[in-house]
Structure 1
Amino acid sequence: MQVTETLNEGLKRAYKLMLTAQELDDKVNEKLAEAQPEIEMKGFRKGKVPMALLKKQFGPRLMGEAMQETIDGAMNKHFEDSGDRPALQPEVKMTNEDWKEGDDVHVEMAYEKLPEIPEVDLASISLERMVVKADDAAVDEALASLAETAQDFKDRKKGSKAKDGDQVVFDFLGKVDGEPFEGGSAEDYPLVLGSGQFIPGFEEQLAGVKAGEEKDVTVTFPEEYQAEHLAGKEAVFSCTIKEVKEPVAAEIDDELAKKFGAEDLAALKGQIGERLEAEYAGAARAVLKRGLLDKLDEMVKFDLPPSLVEAEAKQIAHQLWHEEHPEVHDHNHDGIEPTEEHTKLAERRVRLGLLLAELGQKAEVQVTDAEMTQAIMNQARQYPGQERQFFEFVQQNQQMQQQLRAPIFEDKVVDYVCELAQVSEKEISKDELQKAVEEMENDD
């Protein structure tokens, strides 16, 4: 196989490969010789079929296999000898399309190689890890929120009008075209006004009602209502109001703690403190990671494969467009051209991605099966009732597996770098941490 370089410009490489007719014929004969001992044919004993007959019958089929194997072998040898690592799958095409048996095979191969990544002195990197303790005020605030979720209702003073957030206990009977319909009636039904539990327009009409009052509520079922026979129909609900109750937060005591699975109030406070500090630590880690990536981006410069930058810029532009147009759920829209800003962000992502991949490879960072399983389980929770199908989908989809593996690998490399860097701790307030997170998000 003759290999001739035709392009060497930056990271771009191109080569012409020529497989002679004799090389191809030798490869076919080699494959036939390997198979001959096992071949049986009418009129011949096993393994005694003449090569000429075998070549006539099986030669054309083996020709394609031999051609592909030889070209693949030449490409693999080229990458092994040169040390090049292609950024994307190399473009390979046969240039003599009118090829016939007996002709040489001419092939062109083009690719962009991954750049050489410079060494980074990780020990020279200085980082600051923010530490936030869960103080009594934060714990009390979280407790108050829990008490609201465990709220109860008590009767309002006689004659009080119901308002948003109140619970109205009532009987109702709904009719369409004067006829009651299935599921359109109930007794002693507790409805919290403003909860959105009933169809649009219903709860608003109960605002201002009093206990003992009767009221007709007229609403129109949405066109996309799940019960087709009611969709788009106007209905009148005859309502008898029995009680109007106001919300009351639960008492913050041992009983409340037991509702949330804690032994007593002190234990609940301890659990809340631990949860808050875990949340703070997660936010602080995100800020630390961003600081690390910013420093690495400043420290390391190298040529980037244009194809990777272009693909990343297109993906960024597409993602941001969908964030600006949340009403569009499909991809049936005009092409979105990346801007200079998209390209600049893509260059940063590609550079950091290649650098972290290099650091992780040298440090032999691995994503374990257990970590992958956990990631798949976390993702599967977004599809309740279809978890098994999601697992099977991921198992059969290499691209999806890579999407789940990539962030785990990146986080493990970041942890590895932080172990070698100089990391100091600074205790700050919750508000200061929140400000740091907002500044980070605004810079994205």
Structure 2
Amino acid sequence: MQIKETTNEGLKRAYEVTIPAAEIAGRVEAEVKKIAPQVRMPGFRPGKVPANLVKKMHGEQLHAQTMNDVIRESVDKVMQDNQLRPAMQPAVDLNEGYEEGKDAVVTIDLEVLPEVEAPDVEGLKLERLTVPVADEAVEEALQNIASQQKSYKDAPKTRKAKEGDQLIIDFVGSIDGEEFEGGKADDAPLVIGSGQFIPGFEEQLTGVKTGDEKTITVTFPEDYPAEHLAGKDAQFAVTVKQVKVEDETKLDDSFAESLGLDSLDKLKELLRGQLEQETNGLTRTQMKRQLLDQLAAGHDFPVPDKMVEAEFEQIWAQLQQEASRDENPEHVLKEIEAEKDDYRNIAERRVRLGLLLSEIGQKNGVEVSQQEMSMLIQQAAQQYRPEDRERFIQYVQSEPMAAAQLRAPLYEDKVVDFLFDKADITDRKVTREELEAAIEADEEAEEAKAKKPAAKKKAPAKKKAPAKKEAAKKDEKPAAKKAPAKKAPAKKAAAKKADDKKPAAKKAPAKKKAPAKKPAAKK
């Protein structure tokens, strides 16, 4: 095996490895002899099949396996001999037109990690903005919960239903006089104005009283999920069994018990803890930005282009996803496209700070334990289909780059916590509004920094458009669960409610397929 360095410029390295045909042939022959005793063939006793027949039967497969092995070994040897620290998975190629019986020429292209001088972690000074949770905030949270736990009581029979009232109805739907499947329900609750049913259904029930019978006509939307109903006119025979009005929610122990808690005090205690957790997350975000700014100020070193490109692609994909949800996606896409270079600078600064934090962690013995890593892998495996989870776990355990990518966020948080412990921190009490304003001021400062050659590690996205949100917002609450679908096809599809002012619930991600292991080289 002959190794020749072909590129050594900055962080870029390239090597050409020549593997003699004789070495490849010798290893194939060794594999033939190794498997021959296990080969079974009609007309031969077990273990007595001639080597030439074994090679004829399995030679192509053995040659491919041998090539993968020698290529992988050549990459390992290049890394070890040259003491290389690859920034990402090297690009490995087998010379075009390679044929069995000829020398194999393998090219290895990679970028190496830069030499980073870890800074002295002593002398860091940070200000921690803390927000005491006021009783008023707890009461407001309590009222919000009460508003979501509405109850209704029977209204007088003479009351005409209006928006906000709940109706208990029976209905039967038909098209051209024929009932259709799923168009019938008994004792169905419906709040007028909730947008629960297709357009026109609820509005026509305004003014009905308990005991009324009414036939209403509606048109199913063109994009209705049930294709046999989409765009069709339908009639619904509706019987109003009860008109109900919203009942006053009493905030007492009984209310707390209805939520599974022992008392109202316990509910308030829980809410206070949640509010403290929220504000603590904001406090950490603001303090972490201070820390990263201090670290970035004294370090400017080259970073691997491929790492920057990978980080940029993540940011860009998130921005485009957010833009697609905007009411005017084309305008937002045009706006972020004009600032593409700024986001690339942000990606570069993130990579630089990530490498710096990694160096600090290594120098000071910060580690992710095997137990923590196992938990990370198990959590990540849950996003795959059940039948693929074990394969994903094996993939991560066998691919150092995949494991490193999974480990990186937790490792970074542990290094940040280590630096917080080392820093001289002064506390200042502020209101939540003041804390949020401080974070927003950091975001505005980030916009200015993005126009410079370096960009911040955890730069928030810009506020000019909804698409410009922070690409990885760890403290974001999970989306609310989607309400279970009604059987009646008259229900309006949740995803189609353009006039719904509430944030749409996030759809559960489709289960992924476990990644297939990459071949050592491509022909």
Equivalent residue letter for 1:358: E
Equivalent residue letter for 2:393: Q
Shift of 1:321: 2.2
Shift of 1:202: 1.0
Corresponding position of 1:341: 342
What are the ranges of 5 or more consecutive residues in structure 2 without an aligned counterpart? 327-336, 444-459, 463-469, 471-523
TM-score between the two structures when normalised by the length of structure 2? 0.67
8 Å CA contact 1:90, 1:110 repeated in 2: yes
Measure, in 2, the Cα distance between the counterparts of 1:26 and 1:174: 78
SS in 2 for 1:425: strand
Are 1:395 and 2:393 matched, yes or no?
A: yes
Matches within 5 A, 1:61-100: 69=69, 72-95=72-95, 97=97
Corresponding position of 2:287: 288
Measure, in 1, the Cα distance between the counterparts of 2:59 and 2:226: 66
Are 1:7 and 2:7 matched, yes or no?
A: yes
Equivalent residue letter for 1:418: F
Corresponding position of 1:219: 218
Deviations 1:400-423 (A, max 9, x none): 876654433332232223222333
Q: 1:33 to 1:225 in 2, by over 3 A?
A: closer
Q: 1:407 to 1:57 in 2, by over 3 A?
A: closer
Bigger Cα displacement from structure 2, 266-275 vs 401-410 = 401-410
Deviations 1:1-25 (A, max 9, x none): 4433332211112233344567667
Corresponding position of 2:151: 152
8 Å CA contact 1:212, 1:241 repeated in 2: yes
8 Å CA contact 2:98, 2:104 repeated in 1: no
Q: 1:94 to 1:183 in 2, by over 3 A?
A: closer
SS in 1 for 2:249: coil
8 Å CA contact 1:317, 1:337 repeated in 2: no
Are 1:430 and 2:436 matched, yes or no?
A: no
Bigger Cα displacement from structure 2, 256-265 vs 55-64 = 55-64
SS in 2 for 1:237: strand
Shift of 1:140: 0.8
Shift of 1:172: 3.7
Name the count of aligned residue pairs: 429
Shift of 1:34: 8.9
Deviations 1:250-302 (A, max 9, x none): 11112112112222222222222122112221222232233333333323221
Identity score, percent: 42
Shift of 1:160: 4.7
Q: 1:188 to 1:417 in 2, by over 3 A?
A: same
What are the ranges of 5 or more consecutive residues in structure 1 without an aligned counterpart? 328-335
SS in 2 for 1:276: helix
8 Å CA contact 1:394, 1:400 repeated in 2: no
Equivalent residue letter for 1:236: Q
Corresponding position of 1:274: 273
Shift of 1:347: 0.6
Deviations 1:68-119 (A, max 9, x none): 6555444433322322112233334455846674x65544333221111221
- Match of residue 413, structure 2, among 411, 414, 428: 411
8 Å CA contact 1:212, 1:243 repeated in 2: yes
Measure, in 1, the Cα distance between the counterparts of 2:25 and 2:171: 88
Equivalent residue letter for 1:416: F
Q: Please give the root-mean-square deviation of Cα atoms over the aligned residues, in Å.
A: 4.4
8 Å CA contact 1:176, 1:236 repeated in 2: yes
Deviations 1:189-218 (A, max 9, x none): 432112233233211222344455544321
Q: 1:164 to 1:376 in 2, by over 3 A?
A: farther
8 Å CA contact 1:214, 1:239 repeated in 2: yes
Measure, in 2, the Cα distance between the counterparts of 1:120 and 1:83: 23
Q: 1:40 to 1:239 in 2, by over 3 A?
A: closer
8 Å CA contact 2:308, 2:344 repeated in 1: yes
Shift of 1:138: 0.7
Which structure has the larger Rg? 1
Q: 1:37 to 1:213 in 2, by over 3 A?
A: closer
Corresponding position of 1:195: 194
Corresponding position of 1:332: none
TM-score between the two structures when normalised by the length of structure 1? 0.77
Measure, in 1, the Cα distance between the counterparts of 2:37 and 2:269: 74
8 Å CA contact 1:7, 1:15 repeated in 2: yes
